[in-house]
Amino acid sequence: MPANSAGHISITGVSKYYGRQKALDNVSLEVKPGSVTVILGPSGSGKSTLLRTINHLERVDEGFIQIDGDYIGYRREGDRLYELKEKAILRQRVNVGYVFQSFNLFPHLTVLENIIEAPIAHRLLSRKAAIARAHKLLDRVGLRDKADAWSRHLSGGQQQRIAIARALALNPRVMLFDEPTSALDPELVGEVLDVIKDLARSGTTLVVVTHEIGFAREVADRVVFMVDGRIVEEGSSEAVLNHPQHPRTRQFLSKVLA
Ligand code: ADP
């Protein structure tokens, strides 16, 4: 599929419970191919849970999610959805990169080994091709000279840029970022946001949970605001950030922008 026609995420009536707690309450959202969507909301509003359902790190209890028409985590037979086997779920996840707050690199591997591991394990690339691609990705995240470094010796900002390169090594159609800068010292936040901004121009569909309003203003095509497991407001970044309609959005923005 050519760039910009792949990576359409369609979320339809998704609810998710933890015991009796409703973490997601009938969430529907369309994310256009190649677009950047920022999810905002107070702590505990379901942002991370929503992101995790998009690559089936969490099961959904109601509704469904599709990427380019494929059901995520399930296959459909007639009117029923059946959960996929682990192997098929892992195969689907190749299309959906996930960057965690806490980097999650393999500490016992070098930077290069971290990046080439998945494409080789999934038999997407030969070792030689994976290494060539890893060097290109390191260049892209501004860490060309770190290929042979141990990941645990790098700064948090560098580790997060490596984590992004590692996710990109599978050439995903969609990249999900779960508060990618909130574990970083303030002076390291900018270098990670710059890499994500660069990615935003590349045609990969991005969904980013973050509290960085400046980033949302500059980069997001759409801003989604969540409260209590529901999307209460959604629109262009201009509309949601400059002219919020919902009282909870106004309250939240007045606090974070204060
Ligand atoms: P956010 O990312 O907006 O902070 P989360 O998606 O992490 O919100 O959490 C939404 C709600 O679900 C919260 O009330 C949280 O306590 C609950 N929750 C999240 N993960 C779990 C879990 N693994 N087990 C039980 N409750 C959870």
- For the stretch 71-110, pLDDT in tens is 999 999 998 999 999 999 999 999 999 999 998 899 889 9
57 lines ligand 1 (CB under 6 A): no
**Mean pLDDT for the chain?**
94
Angle formed at CA 182 by CA 254 and CA 3, multiple of 5 degrees: 95
41 lines ligand 1 (CB under 6 A): yes
- Please choose from 15, 16, 21 the residue to mutate so as to test ligand 1's pocket, defined by most ligand atoms within 8 A of CB: 21
Q: Which atom of ligand 1 is nearest to 58's Cα? A: 23
Token pair of 240 as six digits: 């949601």
- How many angstroms is it from 54 CA to the middle of ligand 1? 15
47 lines ligand 1 (CB under 6 A): yes
- For the stretch 216-246, pLDDT in tens is 999 999 999 999 999 999 999 999 999 999 9
User: Which residue's CA is the nearest one to ligand 1's atom 22?
Assistant: 18
Q: Is the pLDDT of residue 191 over 60?
A: yes
43 lines ligand 1 (CB under 6 A): yes
Give the Å distances, CA to CA, from 49 to 15, 55, 57, 246.
10, 11, 9, 22
- How many angstroms is it from 224 CA to the middle of ligand 1? 18
C-alpha 209/C-alpha 41 separation (Å) is 9
- How many angstroms is it from 136 CA to the middle of ligand 1? 37
18 lines ligand 1 (CB under 6 A): yes
- The candidate with the shortest Cα–Cα distance to 227, out of 28, 46, 20, 52, is 46
